[in-house]
Structure 1
């Protein structure tokens, strides 16, 4: 059916699991409500690797990646805001 629930997911693993859920719903192996519960579990357990400091260019790339993850539904809006704040706080100015 669906892979065992994990303690944490990388963004790539979360996207893969979400795609797998879409396939299971399409095959009617699980219903949309069950898939939603799995998606909420996955979204709350995504771990993004953050660095201790960022250059201006690295910060732009990291923020763009956070936007992509948010749009894909892999990262919640609240987590995305926290990640952006972390990046902004640790960006080195020239």
Structure 2
């Protein structure tokens, strides 16, 4: 079936989402059950943040945050908090 974990990296969350999609396709889980698992995963995704960013690294990090949001791996509120963290810690050029 599907095993829940205490925390997920973004890559692990994406794999878990893909696994849930497969389980729904095989009719092992209902879409409603899969949705509950997705909410569980989304609330436990951890993103590694650095203490400071160069402007180029900040752009890359924000792009990655945007990709994670579009994939549904992290929530909109979490993405906004991560972007604010990155902006606050970006070194002035």
Coarse TM-score class (shorter-chain normalised): over 0.9
Render the CA deviation track for 1:58-88: whole Å, top value 9, x for unaligned. Answer: 0000000000000000000000000000000
TM-score (norm 1): 0.98
Aligned runs of 1:52-63 on 2, under 5 Å?
52-63=51-62
Task: Provide structure 2 residue ranges, at least 5 long, that are not aligned to the other structure.
Answer: none
TM-score (norm 2): 0.99
Partner of 1:28: 27
Q: Tell me whether 1:69 sits opposite 2:68 in the alignment.
A: yes
The offset of 1:6, in angstroms, is: 0.8
Q: Secondary structure at the match of 2:33?
A: helix
The offset of 1:7, in angstroms, is: 0.8
Divergent runs of 4+, >3 A: none
Aligned runs of 1:1-94 on 2, under 5 Å?
1-2=1-2, 4-94=3-93
Q: How many residues align?
A: 93
The offset of 1:20, in angstroms, is: 0.2
- RMSD value, Cα: 0.4
